[in-house]
């Protein structure tokens, strides 16, 4: 296990309680072909984890073999989906691996990739990963990837505070 994975495991095991529900917004692994290692890592955490698949997840529907991969991923994750909706701080919040469609800062490359898998910006809050950026918030988009949070899982109260702050400023 490299230092990156060791830090992730230490933070996860210290910060996430056994009864917590975790939403992982994709890219369990850094590159395709290492799925077993990532799935074993999640299984060892012994928590309830829901997956919103990312482009590096072989179970994401962008990959032709995704249907055949689903049973293996469901052995580890409580649910596996492309997007999800949660209610946080009284607001309907979208969950996706990707930032909003056509967001010029929505990728970590010069080319905006995977636009066909991104949701349009309808003014709702969106939690996402994918960008590998240190920027945590752009408007109503909250980057909850560990790369923007010191390799730590993002607590629900962090998200709720940002939503509340936006609404307090509008009042």
Confidence at 170, pLDDT banded by 50, 70, 90: low
User: How many whole angstroms separate alpha carbon 60 and alpha carbon 52?
Assistant: 8
Give pLDDT, residue 109.
Answer: 82
Domains of the chain: total: 1
pTM confidence score? 0.92
Query: Tell me, what CATH number does 88's domain have?
Result: 3.60.21.10
Output the CA torsion 127→129→131→136 (10° steps). Answer: 50
Q: Could you give the dihedral angle defined by the CA atoms of residues 48, 36, 85 and 152, in that order, rounded to the nearest 10 degrees?
A: 70
Q: According to the model, what pLDDT value does residue 171 have?
A: 45
pLDDT at 107: 82
Which pLDDT tens digit goes with each residue over 15-66?
999 999 999 999 987 766 778 889 999 999 989 999 999 999 999 999 999 9
Residue 116's domain spans which residues?
3-170
Q: Which SS3 state, helix, strand or coil, does residue 81 take?
A: strand
Bridge partners, 138 (sequence order): 141
> Looking at residue 154, what DSSP letter applies?
P
pLDDT at 108: 80
Question: pLDDT by residue (tens digit) across 134-147?
Answer: 999 999 999 999 99
Report DSSP state, residue 13.
H
pLDDT in tens, 64-94: 999 999 999 999 999 999 999 999 999 999 9
Could you tell me the maximum CA-CA distance found in the chain, to the nearest angstrom? 49
- What is the reported pLDDT for 105? 81
- pLDDT at position 104 is 81
């Amino acid at each position: 296990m490299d230092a990156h994975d060791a830090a992730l495991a230490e933070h996860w095991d210290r910060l996430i309680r056994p009864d917590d529900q975790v939403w992982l917004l994709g890219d369990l692994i850094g590159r395709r072909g290492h799925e077993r290692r990532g799935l074993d890592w999640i299984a060892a955490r012994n928590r309830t984890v829901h997956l919103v698949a990312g482009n590096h997840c072989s179970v994401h529907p962008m990959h032709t073999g995704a249907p055949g991969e689903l049973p293996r991923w469901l052995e580890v994750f409580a649910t596996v989906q492309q997007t999800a909706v949660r209610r946080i701080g009284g607001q309907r919040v979208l969950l996706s691996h990707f930032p909003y469609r056509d967001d010029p800062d929505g990728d970590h490359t010069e080319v905006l990739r995977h636009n066909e898998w991104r949701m349009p910006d309808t003014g709702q809050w969106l939690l996402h990963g994918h960008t590998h950026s240190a920027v945590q918030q752009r408007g109503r988009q909250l980057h909850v990837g560990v790369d923007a949070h010191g390799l730590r899982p993002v607590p629900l109260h962090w998200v709720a505070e940002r939503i509340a702050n936006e609404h307090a400023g509008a009042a």
